[in-house]
Amino acid sequence: MGKVFAFHGGIHPPENKKQSTRQPIGRPPLPKQLYLPLQQHIGMAASPVVEVGQHVLKGQLIAEPVGRISAALHAPTSGTIRSIGPHPVPHASGLESDCICIDVDGEERWIEHQGLEDYTRLDPAQLIEHIRQCGIAGMGGAGFPTDVKLHLGDDHIVNTLIINAAECEPYITADDMLMRERADEILGGIRVISHLLKPSHIMIGIEDNKAHAIHTLEKVLKDCELNIDIRVVPTKYPSGGERQLIQLLTGLEVPSGKIPADIGIVCQNIGTTAAIYRAVHFGEPLVSRIVTVTGDAVAQPQNFEALIGTPFADLLDAAHVYENKLYRLVMGGPMMGVTVEHDQIPVIKTTNCIIAATSDEMPPAPPEQPCIRCNMCEQVCPVTLLPQQLYWFAKGREFDKAKHHNLFDCIECGACAYACPSSIPLVQYYRFAKSEIRTEEAEQRKADHARQRFEARQERLEREKQEKEARRKARAEEAAKAQKARTAPETTAEPAQDLNALKTAAAVARTKLKKAQKALDAARDSGEGDISALEAAVQAAQTSADTTQQALQQAEGSATPAPAAAPQVDTKQLKTAAAVARTKLKKAQKALDAARESGEGNISELEAAVNSAQTAADKAQLAFEQAESGANADSAGGADLKQLKTAAAVARTKLKKARDALKNAESKGLDGLDKLRATVEALEAKADQADKAYQGAEAASGGTSSADTAKADPVDMKALKQQVSIMRTKLKKAEAALEGLEGEERTLAEQALAELHQRHAEADQAFKAAEQAQIEAAAAQGVDLKQLKIDAAMARAAVTKLERSLSKTEEEATRATLEAELSTARQKADTLNQTLKQHETA
Ligand code: SF4
Ligand code: SF4
């Protein structure tokens, strides 16, 4: 006998065991029907594999396990499947559950079956599977599938195997009788379990009120090869509780929330051990069990080997129940059992006792009294809980607090309720609280599951959205890159802004220049106004226009990644600048000639002005010619015949003028002849050079002159002038519309205005270029077109003046003189106009 420890609390209720141990285990008559609940165990309900009307043999599988934690179900005897449906089952709720009903045929015909020849040679998994297929479930407690308990995996190492033979509940003697009569089967079962778990120590825990059983076991174990220790424990309720027995035998407490295997211990019920033996050695599934039928309402209390599914009524009949005395029918013991209202409730794998009690034996519970805080409940609780606290929490529906006070460690032994002087049905409160918490948790799990699904969906949608956005961005970036690649050779974003500003500034400067030029022309035409001031204004405007144009050209050049080898030069601007320089030279020459003829004025200053103007004109002309020849080099592949011809003509005109000036100076014996001669020599060289260039280019081009081209492609000066006028009108309107605008509207209007400035400048430039071309073409023929225009205008003005004088004069002689002058003036004006027209339309 080994050492026995103790556990906290416990009670000593009347045992009432002797009544049912006077008779050996009996065999009740076969019932007419058996009702087999599909859910007789912890875990998933078994699934029927038979159909209604199907005949089954004893031991035949009728429902297979579903999932890891489940148990198979077999026909306890031969018969026919009568129905599969709801039937009252042994449960505290009194509710019905699905059962397979078998009409017993009374033949008890077994299905072919056989035990395992030598289970020790089998793989443990195969042996466990055999036990699973035999539907073995714990027969002393909640019906946990035995195969699961035997297949602990690598996480647990079992040191101690405890066989629970304590059977501490009053009245119940099923295990006691099993030990007395079938100890060898128990030992056989222990051998199988030991083979699977390989514990270093095996203990059978048994209460000291079972002397007969202890004696029998000792006899059987006498020659046993296994290290099996019978540990007799004091009779005290609930020493048969798994955790309490472990504590009694080992002194160890299974921590809250843990299982015995976590501390290296496995506990098996003694009835289950015998069932394992029969399954392994004979191939018999679990189809029957020992049930104690006792109580003062039966004449012959006894243990019966009852088929699973046997209605209680059949067993009560077998024990000769006194129907008139039967007051209360209890399934299980008086401490943990439940009162049932129906005697057709069937025996299941965990049914160990049926108590048919009289009213004296189990009177109605006295009315519940207020808790007097006596603390008796706490003193008897084997789990060292605070039953009184749990009661208050359950009653006040403070389930969280009850849970926090380890409500679920309560084994519902009923010791507290038994000890309570206030007759408070404490266990009922605990069951209610547990049920509520389980329901809440189930709902919470459902809600969590729904929330997780919702969040997963939201995450998926968000992820898809982000992926879509990322794809869109990637496409946009690709498009931007492609666009950049296309636009990169033209300009970059920042310089584009500068370019626009410079373009606008250049256009404005050109507009101012045009206005100044126009004012100067008008003054010249009319002979009114301060010509010198207007010329200075034109000069200043020209400088400004040149500066802005140069800045624009530089910006355009720098903004162009792949510029031409030579810097871009605006030949039109240079052309204009050269024409302006020549005009100045002409004026200076005219002023000098006038001063020489009249003998008035500062001749030296005027000569210096002529020289300066000549130098400027030469420079401007040279710049234009160089730019022109450079611009034409690439496109034409050689010199432009028209330009070369013009350059040669201009050179000759200059030379002619210089010679005339020299001749005039020589004839009059004026100063500065050397300078004039040097100028003539330089111009002669230049004219020769220009002639040679033109002749060479003409020879290279096969003799096609640009003049011919000009003739074939006359310019519509009127249309060009009209275009300039239209653009000017639009410009004025756009400038007027700009007033009062703000923000983005103003920006857009300014951009439109800048665009109009640009177009106006271009139209004006086109007109000026055409005009200049006319001037140059005329110059090539030795005609100063501008001067011709001035002369024509002055001739027209003289005609107008004479006509006006004639209209005011009445004196005959004066009229005759005026008419003669008018006739001459008209002839002159007509000739000049005709000549001008010829050159303008050339
Ligand atoms: S035994 Fe009953 S009366 Fe006493 S403290 Fe516990 S619940 Fe209250
Ligand atoms: S029923 Fe629960 S609280 Fe009451 S004594 Fe048993 S284990 Fe303790």
Q: How far is the CA of 437 from the centre of ligand 1 (A)?
A: 23
**Which ligand 1 atom minimizes the distance to the CA of 391?**
7
Ligand 2 pocket check for 174: Cβ under 6 Å: no
Q: Tell me, what's the pLDDT at 568? A: 46
- Tens of pLDDT, residue by residue over 424-435, are 999 999 999 999
Cα–Cα dist 360/358, whole Å = 5
**Which ligand 1 atom minimizes the distance to the CA of 416?**
1
Q: How far is the CA of 392 from the centre of ligand 1 (A)?
A: 10
The yes-or-no verdict on residue 588 having pLDDT over 60 is: yes
User: Could you give the strand order of the β-sheet that contains 61-64, starting from the edge strand earlier in sequence?
Assistant: 47-48, 61-64, 73-74
Mutate to test the pocket of ligand 1, among 386, 390, 424, 429 (most ligand atoms within 8 A of CB): 424
Q: Whose CA is nearest to atom 3 of ligand 2?
A: 387
H helices present in 319-425, as ranges = 376-380, 387-395, 399-404, 415-419
Q: Write out the two tokens for 829.
A: 């004006």
Cα–Cα dist 122/326, whole Å = 51
- The DSSP string of 485-510 is HHHTTT--HHHHHHHHHHHHHHHHHH
**Within 13 Å and on the Cβ side, how many CA atoms surround 485?**
6
The yes-or-no verdict on residue 667 having pLDDT over 80 is: no
- Tens of pLDDT, residue by residue over 442-490, are 999 989 888 888 888 888 888 888 888 888 888 888 888 877 776 655 4
3-state secondary structure of 533: helix
Mean of all residue pLDDT scores within the chain: 85
Query: Which ligand is in closest contact with the Cα of 9?
Result: 2
Query: Which ligand is in closest contact with the Cα of 374?
Result: 1
293 strand-pairing partners: 302, 354
Q: Which residues line ligand 1 (CB under 6 A)?
A: 371-377, 387-388, 391, 419-422, 424
Cα–Cα dist 144/138, whole Å = 5
Give me the mean pLDDT over the 228-247 stretch. 96
Q: Is the bond leading into 238 cis (omega within 30 degrees of zero)?
A: yes
**Kind and range of the H or E run holding 540:** helix 531-559
Q: Tell me, what's the pLDDT at 121? A: 93
User: 78 or 602: whose pLDDT is higher?
Assistant: 78
Give me the mean pLDDT over the 803-823 stretch. 82
**Which ligand 2 atom minimizes the distance to the CA of 417?**
4
- Nearest by Cα to 273 from 261, 286, 260: 286
Mutate to test the pocket of ligand 2, among 379, 405, 413 (most ligand atoms within 8 A of CB): 413
- Tens of pLDDT, residue by residue over 154-171, are 678 889 999 999 999 999
Residue 360 sits at the vertex; the CA angle it makes with 354 and 364, to the nearest 5 degrees, is 80
Cα–Cα dist 762/768, whole Å = 10
Per-residue three-class SS string for 450-486 = HHHHHHHHHHHHHHHHHHHHHHHHHHHHHHHHHHHHH
Burial class (CB in 10 A: 0-12, 13-18, 19+), 108: middle
Q: Tell me, what's the pLDDT at 636? A: 43
> In this structure, what DSSP letter does residue 682 have?
H
The yes-or-no verdict on residue 566 having pLDDT over 70 is: no
User: 310 or 690: whose pLDDT is higher?
Assistant: 310
Q: Tell me, what's the pLDDT at 520? A: 79
Give the contacts of 332 (CB within 8 A, at least 6 positions apart).
Answer: 169, 172, 338, 351, 352, 353
The yes-or-no verdict on residue 360 having pLDDT over 60 is: yes
Q: Are 5 and 249 in contact (CB under 8 A)?
A: yes
Under the banding of pLDDT at 50, 70 and 90, the label for residue 492 is very low
How far, CA to CA in Å, does 801 sit from each of 209, 595, 826, 836? 159, 27, 11, 21
Q: How far is the CA of 258 from the centre of ligand 2 (A)?
A: 18
Burial class (CB in 10 A: 0-12, 13-18, 19+), 348: buried
Count the Cβ atoms, other than its own, within 10 Å of residue 6: 14
Q: Tell me, what's the pLDDT at 715? A: 62
Count the Cβ atoms, other than its own, within 10 Å of residue 124: 14
